Amino acid sequence: MFRSNTTDFILAPLSNVLSEAIEAMVVVNDGMYGYQLADWVMPTVFLRMTGAQEQKFKCICWDFWTLDLEWRNQRYGKKIAEMSCYDEKNHLCRDLIQYLIRSKRGFDPVASIDREGVIQDAYQETVSICQDSLLKDWFSDSFAVFEEVVPAFKKDYFVVWNSQKNTYKDLFIEELYDAYEALYYHRNRCAHNSTSFQDNLPKFEVLSGSNAMYENYFVRFYLLILLDKLFVQLYRWMLETTDF
């Protein structure tokens, strides 16, 4: 039963968290009196999505680690990764891909992972969920920035390979990495509630810098959905090659 429930949880689209939150907001006044909720709703939805994703990835880790307990001890020791920061997600992606290369017949990560398709699907799904919602009404300027920024992300910035050595290099590079770092910093602000006593976050230097466009909830929702689509696909392939 636990095995089935865990698998169902991992495979369920993370975008469901965003959709369910928007559906629950039908009781919110769409006039000026609804705006006072805006700054509460966005970080709440964001934290629910980041928390669900971190739990998903930890569940993937436990399934993955049971395949080779000796390797698990050598690779991770006694520490169980929280799966929140970039390095932890990057290591998990590398480990899953290396496992699939060894175990899945005919698996070619460069050809098998449709990077362009995943990027586009995540964008379209985010737009589809948010475009007719109160979130867009409340933050129309942010949504316009999101629609401008995300289509510029290239597949070459995502699941990057060292072409000379034909080895995995990074989960994100360039603008995608910068956007994720902004997401992670904001995740920490919300998780540790620093905005409750320091209301000038992010700092002016950040808001006036070249990466200010990433201080945007819609970009953050998109990145979380993008990561979810990638790791769920890798997990599905792992299930195909493994008898737990």
Percent of the chain having pLDDT more than 90? 50
Identify the pLDDT of residue 151. 93
175 closest CA partner among 206, 151, 153 = 153
Which residues sit opposite 170 in a β-bridge?
160
Q: What's the pLDDT at 127?
A: 96
Per mean pLDDT, which range of 59-63, 121-125, 203-207, 227-231 is the poorest? Answer: 203-207
Number of domains composing the chain: 1
For residue 209, pLDDT beyond 80: no
pLDDT tens per residue across span 114-144: 999 999 999 999 999 999 888 898 899 999 9
DSSP H/E element including 184: helix 174-191
pTM, entire model = 0.90
Res 191 pLDDT > 90: no
Q: Which of 77-81, 165-169, 207-211, 229-233 is least confident?
A: 77-81
Three-class secondary structure of residue 172 per DSSP? strand
Distance (Å, whole) CA 7 – CA 169 = 28
Return the pLDDT at 165: 61
What domain range includes position 163?
2-241
Written as one string, the DSSP assignment of 64-112 is HHTT-HHHHHHHHTTPPP-S-SHHHHHHHHHHHHHHHHHHSTT--HHHH
Q: Which residues contact 52 (CB under 8 A, 6 or more apart)?
A: 14, 17
Residue 12: what pLDDT? Answer: 93
